[in-house]
Amino acid sequence: MIGRDDLTSGYHDRGPAPGDVDLDRVWLGVAAQVWCRQPGPAERAAGRLLRSPGLARALVTTPSLLLGWVIATVVILLAGLGFTLSTGTPWVALLAPAVAAAGIAYAYGSGIDPAWELSQSMAVSDRMVLLVRALAVFGLNAALGLAASAASGAAAAVTFGWLVPMTAMCALALAAATVTRSPNVGVAAGSAGWVIAILAGQAAEGRFTAAITDSFFVLPYLAFAACCAAVVLFATRIPRGTS
């Protein structure tokens, strides 16, 4: 790679530099052009949509989340597909909320993000970064679910049947993780919450798929998610005034 020394030595080979040429300044201009990473189409679109290049970069790079997201997606698809084909039970819909809740619990905090403390001192709020990433994942999941529903001829309600409880379980896991500062507690809370929801559906209607198929649960799920979101906001606030 060409460096500052190469630039200056090459220049001196052809004689002394003119007095009005600042080679440091020239090199910085070159380095800025050579080193800088041009944002891809997704980052440019996100930057325009979010009106924040910082948020857009955080969204497309997701340095601490990418691996977890990919693993969760693969687990859900492969395990769910296998069990669904062999048993006829909608295992993807039943597994998705718990796995997503685990992913969200590990998405926020010192447990997973190595640069957590540094991120907390940034002008672009770490909570906003988390929100945008979660929205992107949910939006993509919803789009994939709707596409799959359309392809299989099933009603869109199937997708929303698991997307809504997934929102509630993710909010629960996030609230528990932020309040206790432990992603493991968040995972436990999200998983326990989902097991309780499934068992409640079993007790009420005699089938454990009621938690994802019964429209009666939609409003309670959303209300519960809103309460958990409020807890997250409260737990991550910086108190106004200090005396």
Partner 1 sequence: MNVELTELTRKFGHTRAVSGVTLEAGPGVFGLLGPNGAGKTSLLRMMATVLPPTSGTLRLLGRDPGGYGPRREIRRRLGYLPQNLGYYPGFTVVDFVEYFALLKDMPPGQVPRAVATAIEQVGLGDKARAKLRTLSGGMLRRAGIAQAIVNQPELLLLDEPTAGLDPEQRVAFRALLREFGQRATVIVSTHLVEDVAAACTEVTLMDSGRIVFHGTPDELIARGQGHGVGDAPLERGYSAVLAAARS
Binding stretches for partner 1 (CB under 8 A)? 1, 3-4, 24, 27-29, 31-33, 35-37, 47, 52-54, 57-58, 61, 63-64, 113-125, 129, 238-243
5 vs 85, beta carbon nearer partner 1: 5
14 vs 37, beta carbon nearer partner 1: 37
The amino acid that residue 163 corresponds to is: L
- One DSSP character per residue, 36-57 reads PPPP-HHHHHHHHHHT-HHHHH
CA distance 60 to 55: 9
Closest contact distance (angstroms) between CB of 7 and partner 1 is 11
14 vs 240, beta carbon nearer partner 1: 240
Q: What SS3 state is found at 131?
A: helix
58 vs 170, beta carbon nearer partner 1: 58
Structure tokens at 37: 């990473």
Closest contact distance (angstroms) between CB of 39 and partner 1 is 8
Structure tokens at 119: 């991120």
Closest contact distance (angstroms) between CB of 106 and partner 1 is 15
Buried b (16+ CB within 10 A) or exposed e, 138-155: beebeeebeeebeeeeee
Closest contact distance (angstroms) between CB of 146 and partner 1 is 32
